[in-house]
Amino acid sequence: VLALSSTEVDVSPVQVGQQITVKWRGKPVFIRHRTEQDIAEARAVPLEDLKDPQTDEERVERPEWLIMVGVCTHLGCVPLGQKASEPRGEWGGWFCPCHGSHYDTAGRIRKGPAPLNLPVPEHAFLTDTKIKIG
């Protein structure tokens, strides 16, 4: 069995408030350079409000960088919200139009049929702007 591949991403061009999508193991990985407001909103949420309770701190290694597999945990669509023109749902994160799942600025499921948060892949910061995924 071949070792599952990892990928390195240079995020230096990604400004605060922007995001990029990279492919990893055939799946889209969302990398969002979060604003102070994104982070503050994610951290203000009481855990009891969450269907899949996880703190923001558990989901990010560095608060400004949120890294997740961009596959909805309902039926596997790619949620909207990576482009400025796309809807981000009621919690300002991502919105999956298939059956209306809303994810917050930490990628946690807040409303709709998806049962789980968008998964955070194993990753590590090699430098301040270089991230190894996988």
Q: Name the token pair of 107.
A: 């990628």
Q: Does 25 bind ligand FES (CB under 6 A)?
A: no
Residues 96-125 that bind ligand FES (CB under 6 A): 96, 98-99, 101, 112-114
Helix H or strand E segment including 96: strand 92-96
Catalytic residue among 33, 74, 99, 123: 99
Q: In the complex with ligand FES, which residue's Cβ is closer, 65 or 103?
A: 103
How many binding residues for ligand FES (CB under 6 A)? Answer: 12
Give the per-residue contact string, 27-46, with ligand FES (x = CB under 6 A; - = no): --------------------
Contact yes or no for 54/45 (Cβ under 8 A):
no
**Three-state secondary-structure class, residue 54:** coil
Residues 66-95 that bind ligand FES (CB under 6 A): 72, 74-77
Residues in the chain: 134
Q: How far is the CB of 111 from ligand FES (least distance, A)?
A: 10
99 a catalytic residue: yes
Helix H or strand E segment including 9: strand 7-10
Q: In the complex with ligand FES, which residue's Cβ is closer, 100 or 134?
A: 100
| Helix spans in 2-122 (H) | 36-43, 56-59
Task: Round to whole Å and give the CA distance between 47 and 31.
Answer: 23
Q: In the complex with ligand FES, which residue's Cβ is closer, 60 or 72?
A: 72
Q: Which residues are known to be catalytic?
A: 99
